[in-house]
Structure 1
């Protein structure tokens, strides 16, 4: 865990994160799922027996830096718009995170995680973010401890 903490503390936004290279098929990955919005693949440094990432194809550096201009549609229900505004997420990001979570759930089922799993998004250095391209970690295959940090 110290290695992960060191990498997160040293990581900075900018450049072309490794996920862009995976999305463009410039480097290999053990892909589980792919559609027009995201790609899911096994983590190269697993922290659980099953550990994969679900990554949006659109590069968003951090959740906290997603722009309202990223919004892809304005046709959400009024309640969803209220919820999004109330809790500080933009509409596009709300839909994208929902899609990532549904893909993560489906991949977890396909990989046999029938007794449970954990989904995590790391934000910033103190949150453990070591790659500055938003992504969802899905971990399972054993009893996961709490608290996670």
Structure 2
């Protein structure tokens, strides 16, 4: 996926502020944060969107993404005040990068309904 900006971040072609990394997942600070804490969490396997997850990926990759969320929220002590995890899927869902990713937002009162 030579044109995917997140794959370029994974391949260290584009610098980022990495918050968490293991063999399957990378998490980094969003360059256009919408909250004081705004971290993007991506699987290292390129999957275009949530709609493109296979059953196998659901069982193997998705749990690792959410384990990363758990680790990050504990490391940054976000549990007390709370946080939001968001996945935008497709154009009308607000997805702007064609690599599945989850937004971890915290550090302010988040409104409902969202945008």
Query: Which structure has the larger Rg over C-alpha atoms?
Result: 1
* 1:144 partnered with 2:115: no
Q: Which residue of 2 aligns with 1:34?
A: 21
Q: Which residue of 1 aligns with 2:11?
A: 24
Number of matched residues? 114
Distance 2:59 2:84 in 1: 19
Q: Which residue of 1 aligns with 2:86?
A: 120
* 1:92 partnered with 2:79: no
Secondary structure of 2:92's aligned partner:
helix
Q: CA RMSD in A?
A: 1.4
Deviations 1:82-125 (A, max 9, x none): xxxxxxxx132233122111201211221231311000111001
- TM-score calculated relative to the size of structure 2: 0.91
Any unmatched runs of 5+ in structure 2? none
Quote how far apart the aligned CAs of 1:65 are: 2.0
Bigger helix share: 1
Any unmatched runs of 5+ in structure 1? 1-13, 68-89
- TM-score calculated relative to the size of structure 1: 0.71
Higher RCO (C-alpha under 8 Å, 6+ residues apart) = 1
Secondary structure of 1:100's aligned partner:
helix
Bigger strand share: 2
Distance 2:31 2:2 in 1: 20
Q: Which residue of 2 aligns with 1:46?
A: 33
Q: Identify the match of residue 104 of structure 1 among 46, 64, 69.
A: 69
Aligned partners of 2:28 and 2:39 also within 8 Å:
yes
